[in-house]
Chain A
Amino acid sequence: MSNEKKGLLTSGQKRKIRRNITGYAFILPNLIGYSIFVFVPVIFSFVLSVMSWDGSKKPMEFVGLANFAEIFGDKVFRGTLVHTISYAVMTVVPTLILALLLAVLLNNKIKGVAIFRTAFYFPYIASIVAVGAVWNMLFQPDFGPVNQILKFIGISDPPRWVVDKDWAMVAVSIVSVWKYMGYYMIVYLAALQGISSSLYEAASIDGANGWQKLWSITVPMLTPTTFFVMIMLTIQCFKVFDLVYVMTGGGPGNATKTLVNYIYEKAFTSWEFGPASAGAIVLFAIVLVITLIQFSGEKKWFKDL
C-alpha cells in the first residue's frame, strides 16, 4: 500500500515504459541514421521547394509556388517528364516479359541451371559506371560490335544509338533491361516455387500443352508477383539517374535528360535549390501515386488469395 503511494506511476505502468524504452533503444541505431540521412533531408526539401536559395549562407526567401510555376514553364523540365515516361515504358515491359521467360526456363531441371541463373543475375551486381562505359563502346556507331552485327545481318543504316537523339533513350533502356532482368528473374523464380505442382498435373491429365500451361496457370498464378515487379520497376525507372549520367550525360542535346538529371543539374550546376526541390517534390508525388496504386492492388490480391 505504502509502496504504491510513493511513486506517481503504478508498477504496471513503469514496466510498460521500461519495455518501450528497450524497444526504442533497439531501433535507435537505424532510426538515427534514417533521421539524419533521409528524414531530415526529405522534410528540408519540402521546405526548400517554396523557397529561393542558392546554397550559401545567405538567408532563404519565401517565394510560395513560384518554383513550381518556374519548372512547369520550363520546356526542358516538361521534356524530362516525357523522357522519363518513355524510358519507363521502354524498360518496364521488356524487363517483365524477359524476366518471366527466363524464370520459367530456368525453373526446369536442366544441366548447369545454377550457372545460367548466376550468369543472368550477374549484370545486376556489376558496377553501373563500368556497365555504362562498356555498353557505350558496344554501341559505338561506326565500329562498335552492335552496329557491326546489325550491318552483317543486312541493316545497312543502323541507328547511331547514344549520339542519335531518337535512339539514345532506346540504348539506355536496352542496357537497363539487360542489367535488371536477372534480379526480377530471381523474384519470379521464388514465386514459381510457390505454385502447387498439382495444378500442372491436373492440366497434364486434361491434355494441356506447355504454352497452355504457361498461359493459363503460370501467368495467372504469378499475377501478384507481376504486379509487384511492375510497381518496383516503374518506381525505379522514375528515379533513374546514374545510368543516364554515365552513358549520355542527358544528351545528345537534352534528349535523354530525365527528371533526376534535371534536379541534379538545377541544384549543382545552377545552384538553384528552390526549383530543384520543386522538381524533387514532383518526383515524390509521382512515386507516391504509384505506391498508392500498389497498396490498393496488394489488398485486392491478398483478399483473392
Chain B
Amino acid sequence: MKKRQFVAILMVGAMACSVLTACGDSSSQNQDSQSTSGSSDAQKADQPSTTGEDKAADSGGTAQEGTQELSVTTWDNESSPQFQAIVDAYEEKNPNVKIKIIDTSADEYNNSLGISLSAAQPDPDVIWVKDMGSMLQMADKEQLLPIDDFIARDSLDLSIYKGAAEQLMYNDKSYALPYRNDWYVLYYNKDLFDAAGVEYPSNDMTWAEYYELAEKMTSGEGSSKVYGSHNHTWQALVTNWAVQDGDHTVVEKDYSFMKPWYEECLALQDGGYIQDYSTLKTANIHYSSVFKNQQCAMMPMGTWFIATMMQSQEEGETDFNWGIATIPHPENTETGYTVGALTPIAISAYTDQPDLAWDFVKFASSEEAAEILAAQGVFTGIPSETALQTIASAERFPEGESNVEALNYTHYSFDRPLDPQIEEIRTVLNEVHEMILIHAYDVDEGIAELTERVAEIKGW
C-alpha cells in the first residue's frame, strides 16, 4: 500500500517536472524563432538564455574557458550589414569575447526589448536603441545605465560627434552614444529618367518642383504603371517636410502648420503620381520592393537605404542605375535643410558586465567603427570628410559627383523631438495620418483631432 503510494507520488512528481521543463523548452524555442526569423546565420543567435539558470550555467562555462560573453540586441540583422560588421570587427579585436546577438524583427523590436528589460535579467548587456523615443522611455524607467562616469574615466572626446552626443543627453545625463546618423535624401531611378528623356532630379529643388517632376515621370497603366514617386505609409513622409524648416516639431499645441503638407500629399495620391495609401497598407508593401522593382521613379527615404541598395546590387537582386539627390526643400529655406534621426547605442542597467559592455559601446561608436561602417554605406554619428569619401568610393555607390554632393546638409532637424511621451503621441500621429490618407477625415478634421488628442496627452 505504502509502496504504491510512494511510486504514485514519484511518478506525479516526474510528470510535474516534465510539464515544467516542456514549458521552458517551448518558451526558449519561441525566443529562437523570433530572434532568428528568416536569418541565415541562425547559429549566432541560437541560444538566447531565457532563464536565470541558463545564464548561470553559461557564465560558469565561459569563465572556465577564459572567454567572456556579451549579449547585444539588434533588429532585422540579416537585411543590413549595420550590426554584424561591428560585431565581427569587435570579436576579431577581442578574441576572448564572444558576442551573442539577440535579433528581433524591426516592427516588434521595441515591444520585445521592453518586455525583456522588465524582467531585469542580466541579458542583454548592450542595446542598440531603435529610436530616440524609446531611449527616453527606457531612461525614464531607469533601464539604461548612465554612462557619464565611463566617459569621464576614459576622458572620451565627445566633440568628434559634432554635438550629437549632447543631443542625446536627457535630464543632464548621458545614456547613450550616437551609433548611426540618418537623414532623408531623394533616391531616383536613372534608367527610368533616361528612358523618359527627363533630366535627373537636381540637388536644389523645392517641393513644388518635385511634385511637377513626379507628375512628369508617371507613365503607363495597370500593373506596368510607373509612378513618379513613392511615399511609404509612415506618417514621417508627410510630417517630416512640415518640420523640415526647423520652425516646428511634431509635438505642438497647434498642428495647422501641417495642413499644406497633407494637402500636397493627397494631391499626389489622388492624381495617381504616387501609389495609393490603402493599396500599400492592405497589401503590406515594403518601400524597398517598390523601388527595387522599378515601380517608381523617385523615392524620398532615409540614408539607411543606401546600404540596402548597395547590398541588393552586390547580390545581383537589382541591376538598374540609381542615384541620390538632396531632399527637396520648402519655399522658405534654401537647399541643404534635411530631417533625420540618430540611432543610439546604450548599456542595460541590469548588465552583469558593465565594463565589457562599455568597451563594446565605445568601440561601436568610435572613428575606427565609423570607417568600417562607411565601407558598407552606413553613416555613423561621426560626420567626417573621410567617412563620406569612403562611402562615395564604395564599389556599388552610384557614380557621379552630384550623388556625393547630395549627402551634404547644412541644417538638420530631428524627425521627432526628445519628448518622453513621443511614442504615445506618435500613435495618434499615425492614426490621424491614416484617416486623412484614406479620406475618412478631411485635412481640417485631422488637424483638429491631432491638436485635441496631443493636448490631452501632454495635459495642456
Residues of A within 8 A of B (CB): 18, 21-22, 25-26, 28-30, 32-33, 37, 54-58, 133, 136-137, 139-142, 144, 160-165, 251-255, 265, 268-271
A21 touches B9 (CB 8 A): yes
Q: How far is it, in angstroms, between the C-alpha of A251 and the C-alpha of B281 when the chains are bound?
A: 10
Residues of A near B279 (CB, < 8 A) are 140-142
Sorted nearest first, the 8 A-B pairs with minimum C-beta distance are A56-B141, A163-B278, A253-B435, A25-B12, A29-B16, A165-B440, A55-B118, A29-B19
User: Please, how many residues of chain B have a CB less than 8 angstroms from a CB on the other chain?
Assistant: 39
Q: How far is it, in angstroms, between the C-alpha of A162 and the C-alpha of B434 when the chains are bound?
A: 12
Q: Tell me, rounded to whole Å, the shortest Cβ–Cβ distance linking A301 to chain B.
A: 36
Q: Tell me, rounded to whole Å, the shortest Cβ–Cβ distance linking A251 to chain B.
A: 5
Could you list some 19 contacts between A and B, CB below 8 A?
A22-B8, A25-B9, A26-B8, A32-B16, A33-B20, A57-B120, A57-B141, A133-B284, A136-B282, A136-B283, A141-B278, A142-B276, A161-B282, A164-B440, A251-B431, A252-B440, A253-B431, A268-B115, A271-B141
A26 touches B12 (CB 8 A): yes
Known contacts A55-B118, A140-B279; decide if A270 and B423 are in contact (CB<8 Å). Answer: yes
Which one of B12, B282, B284, B431 lies within 8 Å of A254 (CB-CB)? B431
Q: How far is it, in angstroms, between the C-alpha of A75 and the C-alpha of B427 when the chains are bound?
A: 14
Known contacts A58-B141, A136-B283, A268-B111; 18 additional CB pairs below 8 A are A25-B8, A28-B12, A28-B16, A29-B15, A29-B19, A33-B20, A55-B114, A55-B118, A136-B284, A140-B283, A144-B282, A251-B281, A252-B434, A252-B438, A253-B434, A253-B435, A265-B427, A268-B114
Contact with A along B386-406 (1 / 0, CB 8 A): 000000000000000000000
Q: How far is it, in angstroms, between the C-alpha of A161 and the C-alpha of B278 when the chains are bound?
A: 10
Contact with A along B1-41 (1 / 0, CB 8 A): 00001001100110110011001000000000000000000
Residues of A near B49 (CB, < 8 A) are none
Q: Tell me, rounded to whole Å, the shortest Cβ–Cβ distance linking A279 to chain B.
A: 15
Q: Tell me, rounded to whole Å, the shortest Cβ–Cβ distance linking A254 to chain B.
A: 5
B202 is an interface residue with CB less than 8 A from chain A: no
Known contacts A54-B140, A271-B137; decide if A165 and B9 are in contact (CB<8 Å). Answer: no
Which of A55, A56, A139, A254 lies at the interface centre, i.e. has the most chain B CB atoms within 10 A of its CB? Answer: A56
Which one of B276, B283, B435 lies within 8 Å of A252 (CB-CB)? B435
Known contacts A28-B12, A268-B114; decide if A163 and B438 are in contact (CB<8 Å). Answer: yes
B143 is an interface residue with CB less than 8 A from chain A: yes
Known contacts A25-B8, A28-B12, A253-B432; decide if A269 and B424 are in contact (CB<8 Å). Answer: yes
Q: Tell me, rounded to whole Å, the shortest Cβ–Cβ distance linking B51 to chain A.
A: 13
Q: Tell me, rounded to whole Å, the shortest Cβ–Cβ distance linking A19 to chain B.
A: 9
Residues of B near A160 (CB, < 8 A) are 278, 438
Q: Tell me, rounded to whole Å, the shortest Cβ–Cβ distance linking B459 to chain A.
A: 12
Q: How far is it, in angstroms, between the C-alpha of A56 and the C-alpha of B349 when the chains are bound?
A: 11
Known contacts A22-B9, A268-B114; decide if A55 and B282 are in contact (CB<8 Å). Answer: no
